[in-house]
Amino acid sequence: MISRILIGAGAAIFLYLGSVHLTYTFFTDKFSPRESQLETAMKEVAPRISSETTMWKTWIGFNISHSMGALLFGLTYAYLVVCQWELLQRSYFLTVIGLLMLIGYVVVARIFWFKGPLIGALAATLLYVAGFVYAFTRH
């Protein structure tokens, strides 16, 4: 039971982070540049890959898809903990993929983001690892 709580808590952190990120993207200006001229330029300039969009639209799209990834991770592992615990325990594939994903978020947060997401990703990773260590040492 303790393993499930630890891993579930890690998943809940990602549900929270993904939800907050999506809310910030749609309902606040928190991801807008501090300099309004930059936002104006982003709304007018297309990326090199395609003239069918603007840098601003891709920026918003990246933020939405990033939120969706965090939500998908959180929902998937919360579901596995609650409804498919035996499968999660038996599947080294799901265990390793989850760990690699979390480590990836920690690395990206450390290099590209700021302290808040880094702390959240680290906490989720430590809870995840602690949950599996506890689960595997109990067998």
**pLDDT value of residue 139:** 66
pLDDT digits (tens, 9 = 90+) for 75-96: 999 999 999 999 999 999 999 9
The rounded distance, in Å, linking the Cα atoms of 10 and 64 is 21
Per-residue pLDDT averaged across 27-36, rounded? 94
Q: Is 30 strand, coil or helix?
A: coil
Residue 83 burial (10 A CB sphere; 0-12, 13-18, 19+)? exposed
Per-residue pLDDT averaged across 41-49, rounded? 95
Q: Packing angle between helix 92-112 and helix 55-83, nearest 10 degrees?
A: 140
* Verdict on whether the full-model pTM lies above 0.85: yes
